[in-house]
Structure 1
Amino acid sequence: MAPPPRGEVRFTGFTWRPLGRRDPVVRDLDLQVAPGERVLLLGTSGAGKSSLLHALTGALGTTIAGEVAGLAEVGGRVGLLPQDSADSVVADRIGRDVAFGPENLGVPREEIWRRVDAALEAVRLPYGREHLAAALSGGEAQRLALAGILALAPDVMLLDEPTSMLDGEAAAAVRDAVLNVREGRTLVIVEHRFEPWLEHVDRVVVLAGGNVAYDGSVAEFLSGPVHDGLWMPGLPAPAPMAVDPGLVRPEGDVVAPRLEAVGVELVTRTLRGSQRTHALDGLDLELSAGRSTALVGPSGAGKSTALAVLGGLLGPSDGSMRPELHRRRSRDLAPDVGWVPQVSEHGFVTHEVRREVALTSGLVGRGVVVEEVLAALGLEHLAGANPYRLSGGEQRRLALAAALAHRPGLVLLDEPTVGQDRNTWAAVAGWIVASAREGAALAVSTHDRELPVDVRIPMAAGSLA
């Protein structure tokens, strides 16, 4: 068979089984995307969407261990925006990071920096070229990764949840940046909250059961039957799933921290120097037992930093915190605090899902029925899998299970609903509602407007908006 022409994507009898998984994620799949076509690739959490994107970069079976059969082919140059944007950072300064792709293509120096500046402007990153990549928030890092792809000017752009970590205004800017790069380039977009993309794509492909369940026009997709688990336009958010109170009811004392005029100065150091960032500036915030609090606001507002201070993971540079959790040792924090990081893999310490869930409970001397916790979050079929071989949405739910199975009184969640379909969103939302109802002090950083919480606190520039 002749290789695909520039800009074409082709899967022929493609099968992928990650290392440690009994069954393939994708099985005997045939799919073709024409040069210049814009395709929205949909499916529930774990359907294999990200796997197909990684297959086109040659990562499956090499960088990502597992068994591959069939063909995954692409014509021309490929740019991938991964689900975890940190995977694509290659330089300490954002200008150098964006320049990496064009430099490797031998683009003239003047053109490289023209592309860098244009790409940073397109994704609305309000920093100069010398800003440290490590000082970006999760949403800002996502935009940096996209800027690197725009500067590369690939024939095929593969975008894995490009707006999932962004507020509405930033998400709209990212869509504009992507859609303005037409010039015959092929575009494959994976997104759970996909409605804003529908008017801009030529075709919708839905994965289910390891293969293509739907492949057709947007009009036919919208007029056809509702696909279970997808965030179909016009549907209200599902009701939070019922969770057994015994899985979430806090054991021991409930810690409800209070921040008064707290400031946090973060110092990011590299071999070339350092950068100081005022992440929090005079923040007043109090959590209460039995109440859920959402920290909302644009990327870089300081939401994740505020969670870290509330949990004692960071100490304030000024102001006061009661109790002073940051002065406790990790072993003393563990029984009382459950923290789910923005990057799920940062919390994994074992190589099996069931062990990950059981670990903290065992260390702090609390019993846990692992199977019940996994079932509540739709992960029971993955008990023996490697946490690092799960989809992004599955990893996020596992991180929640592992951090909260020991039933802490202080629950801190950083973007917990990212990467979730309607069904798994209901499971995560149910855990959040049940935790607060059973007496936990809960705070969540989120861009999710539909997440059911008791109070929303807007933040901007490190303080209350």
Structure 2
Amino acid sequence: MSRGAARFRGFSWRPVGRKHATIAGVDLDIRAGERVLMVGSSGSGKSTLLHALAGALGTTISGEATGEVEVDGRLGLVLQNPADAIVAERIGRDVAFGPENLGLPRRETWRRVDAALAAVGLSYGRDRFTSALSGGEQQRLVLAGVLAIEPDLVLLDEPTSMLDSATASQVRDAVVGALGGRTLLVVEHRFEPWLDHVDRIIVLAPGGTIAFDGSVEAFLASGGVPGLWMPGAPPPEPLDVPLDLVKPSADPEPVVARDLTVELVTRTIRGSRRSTALSGFDARMDPGRVLAVKGPSGSGKSTALMAMTGLVRPATGTVTPDLSRLRSRDLARGMGWVPQNPELGFLTTSVREEVARTATGLGVSVDVDALLELVGLAHLGPAHPYRLSGGEQRRLAMISALAHRPGLVALDEPTVGQDRDTWAMVAGWYTAAARAGAAVALATHDPDAPRDVEVVL
């Protein structure tokens, strides 16, 4: 093989605890210098193939592999969950981790760090705390770390999914500009903006088999595969979710935020640093309506939701009622929070247990089977939440946080990582909750996510 090439021969993968393989007998060649886009429905095995190329299967990720996987050259991987790849306290040190491990001279290391941070649009400077970054900024930081090692094969797992359109365009330009003759394998659900930058498309079918492998032109002429976000297609209608699954157990009050400022404090052994995450924010959550908070990556959308729902206290301004004064149990009973990083909320070792965990703790009975069936996870009941795909994890996080039917519903980027069909499930859930009387708020970059009113940061 040439440097930058990769291949699979008869490759199959069965995660620990699963009865059936998620990748089944894949034969695939990635030629050096190719630019390949891999698409497929949520849970079809796209991330698994990237993990196989990175050597993570059977070591970091437990399971049974058969067949062969070969890679020639240095590899750089951007994970779907960027927080999993951050290793340092400050962004400069984080990007420097790769070049330092390559043994590069100090001057060259920091030249690459500064160039990579500039390429992805992180202009804070080297000393910014990684803990103060938003999800989208974390995504850009991890990409900068990959660009800094100048790999022969670049693997990107939904690298722009948490970014606004302008920042996503900048990131794509940075990737394409840095590639040169390097090999690219990118996974993305909303893939239309990548079509001008790739020369081959691979479609994975459910069950981990290859449904299509060919040129961009042939793929578009074929009409694609059901469930994919094909160019020009309108968004699907939200799923009709039974209202008895989402109707609040108690009527919520409106939540009104006025002139909020939120400061985040990062503490280390060398002291602490304050950064303003949100300033001058006004909004209201009303029963029966969906509020969308929009804005560029890093503008404070997640912080705004947390301040309105009592999870962080503002430095100035008011929230009425002030939910931050409630005991944790009382807050959990009336408010459901779906975080941007779904793993932050997982407490158990199986999908079934996870769905019931919060509701059981609050003394609320839920129909676990009906909820799993609704969001397409019924076959994964015994699986560990950490062994799901990114899209599957987000759907699990949603029903686990909201199964007890709270009156206040807050979702942070809920439609990330979803194909058309699972997007309709997510959108159907929160819009049904609003119709049933819940006050719903979401932080989102998704222009298609249904909403009644929006606030732009």
Q: What TM-score range do you get, normalising by the shorter chain?
A: over 0.9
Distance in 2 separating the partners of 1:216 and 1:226: 12
Q: Name the structure 2 match of 1:117.
A: 114
Query: Of 75, 99, 108, which residue of structure 2 is paired with 1:102?
Result: 99
Q: Name the structure 2 match of 1:217.
A: 215
More displaced stretch, 393-402 vs 59-68: 59-68
CA contact (8 A) 1:253 1:336 kept: no
CA contact (8 A) 2:251 2:438 kept: no
CA RMSD of aligned residues (A): 0.9
More displaced stretch, 396-405 vs 321-330: 321-330
Instruction: Output aligned runs, 1:36-75, within 5 Å.
Output: 36-75=33-72
Query: Of 132, 135, 143, which residue of structure 2 is paired with 1:135?
Result: 132
Q: Name the structure 1 match of 2:354.
A: 356
Change (3 A) 1:62 1:284: same
Distance in 1 separating the partners of 2:363 and 2:395: 23
- Offset, 1:22: 1.2
Distance in 2 separating the partners of 1:60 and 1:89: 20
SS in 2 for 1:452: coil
Q: Does 1:184 align with 2:173?
A: no
SS in 2 for 1:289: coil
- Offset, 1:319: 1.6
The number of residues matched between the two structures is 456
CA contact (8 A) 2:409 2:439 kept: yes
CA contact (8 A) 1:255 1:336 kept: no
Query: Which structure 2 residue ranges, 5 or more long, are not aligned?
Result: none
Distance in 2 separating the partners of 1:10 and 1:335: 50
Query: Of 190, 199, 202, which residue of structure 2 is paired with 1:202?
Result: 199
More displaced stretch, 321-330 vs 149-158: 321-330
Query: Of 16, 19, 31, which residue of structure 2 is paired with 1:19?
Result: 16
Query: Of 317, 321, 336, which residue of structure 1 is paired with 2:315?
Result: 317
CA contact (8 A) 1:289 1:441 kept: yes
Deviation string 1:256-279 (CA, Å, 9 cap, x unpaired) is 321122211110122333221111
Q: Name the structure 2 match of 1:78.
A: 75
SS in 1 for 2:307: helix
Query: Of 204, 212, 231, which residue of structure 1 is paired with 2:229?
Result: 231
Deviation string 1:313-361 (CA, Å, 9 cap, x unpaired) is 1111122211111011111111100000010000000011111111111
- Offset, 1:255: 3.6
Distance in 1 separating the partners of 2:253 and 2:409: 9
Query: Which structure 1 residue ranges, 5 or more long, are not aligned?
Result: 460-465
Q: Does 1:328 align with 2:330?
A: no
Q: Name the structure 2 match of 1:244.
A: 242
Query: Of 390, 394, 397, which residue of structure 2 is paired with 1:396?
Result: 394
Q: Name the structure 1 match of 2:27.
A: 30
Instruction: Output aligned runs, 1:258-273, within 5 Å.
Output: 258-273=256-271
Deviation string 1:405-451 (CA, Å, 9 cap, x unpaired) is 10000000000000000000000010111011110000000000001
Query: Of 143, 146, 151, which residue of structure 2 is paired with 1:149?
Result: 146
Deviation string 1:213-253 (CA, Å, 9 cap, x unpaired) is 10000000000133011001111000001100000100013
Q: Name the structure 1 match of 2:165.
A: 168
Q: Does 1:306 align with 2:304?
A: yes
- Matched residue type, 2:40: G
Q: Name the structure 2 match of 1:440.
A: 438
Deviation string 1:12-31 (CA, Å, 9 cap, x unpaired) is 11111111111111011111
CA contact (8 A) 1:139 1:299 kept: yes
TM-score by length of 1: 0.97
More displaced stretch, 365-374 vs 295-304: 365-374
Distance in 1 separating the partners of 2:254 and 2:28: 52
Q: Name the structure 1 match of 2:366.
A: 368
Distance in 2 separating the partners of 1:142 and 1:341: 16
